Amino acid sequence: MTTIDALPVIQHWVGGGELTPTSSRTAPVFDPALGKQAKSVALAGPTEIDAAVAAAKAAFPAWRDTSMAKRQQVIFAFRELLNSRKSELAEIVTAEHGKVVSDALGEISRGLEVVELATGFPHLLKGEYSENVSTGVDVYSIKQPLGVVGIISPFNFPAMVPMWFFPIAIAAGNTVVLKPSEKNPSAANWLAALFAEAGLPDGVFNVLHGDKEAVDGLLNHGDVKSISFVGSTPIAQYIYETAAKNGKRVQALGGAKNHMLVLPDADLDLAADAAINAGFGSAGERCMAISVLVAVDTIADELVAKVQERMAGLRTGDGRRGCDMGPLITEAHRDKVAGYIDVADADGATVVVDGRGIEVDGDADGFWLGPTLIDHVPTSSSVYVDEIFGPVLSVVRVHSYEEGVELINNGTFGNGTAIFTNDGGVARRFQNEVEVGMIGVNVPIPVPVAYHSFGGVKDSIFGDSKAYGTAGFRFFTQEKAVTSRWLDPSHGGINLGFPQN
Ligand code: NAD
């Protein structure tokens, strides 16, 4: 039997290679489908935080001044390498997260989209030019990188969420310190090593592993110019407030509780498939998961029956064995999610399908909880109110479209939502009336493509900047306006008045 001391320790990636830490703190990294610790990860202390930021700071002047053509070649080479080796990364994601391999490949593809957007960055970094605003005077704007930028990412998308940010930040000429989740840290190192292979200079992309100490180190470091955070709402709020107080640019994306409203005229088979895919994909550990099915009561019984019937065909087990759904990330999280099924019973809801004690195609010690369906969930219950972040789909019945929209708008989160209907007029009304950032019309997981931007409203985001797309380029650049006059014999002489045309 391997002792914990003999397990591999994932190290920080700083200045183009592994950093030997001075801090002896580590955290366990599990294989959730085996329920066993597979590795450890180094946790940064002050020396490692300073080393990562110093490496990024040292690399910044040369990277900022590297021609756009050269930067573009490096990002293009990274895209090609990632595309050809994505199955390696998918295996790493599955081993540490538990999601099934096809789903891991899916998240990598969505991250690749942002890399592809970043290859076209020169177009997105163009400024504006106004000629002759005053006689012989031109005004133009230029977009420049910020410097060292910090990215702090969650466990549920260890490849995609970092890729929402670092390709754009690096394309724009910044240097990066990424602090990935300590629960599944290997994907970040793999991506950094691949970018180095693509020709990225040392120090442009650094990975700092750690917990709150590493996060606070970045939030309070004077050389870190911006923070991009994705995670749970309470931490997002803390990150936003602390970074803003420290004078940093900050975008902090938080949690979610996404509703899918199904109207009587919807195609109920399409809606049931969508509810299954968006409710149980990645074991519900997605910020765009559907966790509440809002059914208008005339079709609710039929819809619940269709969902229940499909759930019987889902195979839960080890993501490496071609199953539909994998385990949860940790034992503690599995127990917390399972606890909501007890709450549902106590609060008078109907547990239609109970995922506890499910038979799995995997090791008995894995962190398993099967797909769970709970009908008649009272909106006062914590099952309805809390972000559960597991394979638990609640059903709330309403009398009308209006009642459904009111329910959604009364929620504290505003990340994603979907409507299923065949009425174009009502769908159009929904997109206008619903207070949610990302909306699907007969589409259950409306994650926008890379050239649009990702972000919710209300408690799902702190700060006014969304991720990727044109918003990403705006976030990672600062604009300067230049008013310029080249010598002309018709200059006007001395004038102490405020310049005007
Ligand atoms: P989390 O908030 O626990 O952790 C996110 C990051 O914050 C990690 O890197 C972690 O190390 C760090 N962190 C944890 N506790 C901290 C503390 N006390 N102080 C400072 N830093 C701390 O989130 P998670 O469990 O890794 O991820 C799941 C959450 O992320 C869910 O709430 C989900 O909705 C959310 N999420 C949101 C989006 C979005 O785009 N809105 C996308 C993915 C995930």
Q: What is the 3-state secondary structure (H, E, C) of 133-147?
A: EECCEEEEEEEEECC
Instruction: Round to whole Å and give the CA distance between 285 and 279.
Output: 9
Atom in ligand 1 nearest the alpha carbon of residue 216: 20
Is 323 known to be catalytic? no
* 498 DSSP 8-state letter: P
Angle at which helix 424-433 crosses helix 401-410, to 10 degrees, equals 20
Residue 495 confidence (pLDDT): 82
Closest CA relative to residue 112, chosen from 2, 25, 45, 194: 194
Cα–Cα distance measured from residue 325 to residue 340, given in angstroms and rounded to the nearest whole number: 19
Q: What is the crossing angle of helices 212-219 and 46-65, to 10°?
A: 50
**472 to each of 145, 168, 414, how far by Cα in Å?**
12, 7, 20
Which has the closest alpha carbon to 258: 388, 371, 366? 388
Residue 5's pLDDT is what?
Answer: 72
Asked whether the whole model's pTM tops 0.75, one would answer: yes
445 CA distance to ligand 1 middle (Å): 20
> In sequence order, what DSSP letters do the residues of 43-97 get, joined into one string?
---HHHHHHHHHHHHHHHHHHHHS-HHHHHHHHHHHHHHHHHHHHHHHHHHHHHH
Which residue's CA is the nearest one to ligand 1's atom 39?
253
Identify residue 175 by its one-letter amino acid code: T
Q: At what angle do helices 101-119 and 160-171 cross, to 10 degrees?
A: 10
Start-to-end CA span in the chain (Å): 81
Q: Could you tell me which of 256, 271, 232, 390 has the C-alpha nearest to residue 325?
A: 390
> What pairs with residue 375 in β-bridges?
350
d(C-alpha 116, C-alpha 100), whole Å: 25
Atom index in ligand 1 nearest the CA of residue 256 equals: 34
Tokens of 137: 């005077």
Catalytic residue among 112, 161, 287, 398: 287
Instruction: Please give the Cα distance from 322 to 325 (Å, whole number).
Output: 9
Question: Can you give the pLDDT at residue 489?
Answer: 59
Helices 160-171/68-97 angle, 10° precision: 170
Q: Pick from 104, 193, 210: which is nearest to 157 by CA? A: 104
Residue type at 84 in one-letter notation: S
Residues with CB under 6 A from ligand 1: 152-157, 161, 179, 181-182, 211-212, 215, 230-232, 235, 253-256, 287, 387, 389, 415, 456, 460
Q: What is the mean pLDDT of each run of 10 residues along the chain (501 residues)?
A: 77 95 92 98 97 98 98 98 98 98 98 98 97 94 98 98 98 99 98 98 98 98 98 98 98 98 98 98 98 97 98 98 98 98 97 96 98 98 98 98 98 98 98 98 96 98 97 98 83 79 63
Give 464: exposed, middle or buried? Use CB within 10 Å, 0-12, 13-18, 19+. Answer: exposed
Ligand 1 pocket test target in 12, 181, 438, 454 with most atoms within 8 Å of CB: 181
* Atom 15 of ligand 1, nearest CA residue: 212
pLDDT (0 to 100) of residue 490: 62
Domains recognised in the chain with CATH numbers: 4-254+460-482 (3.40.605.10), 258-441 (3.40.309.10)
Distance 165 CA to ligand 1 centre (A): 15
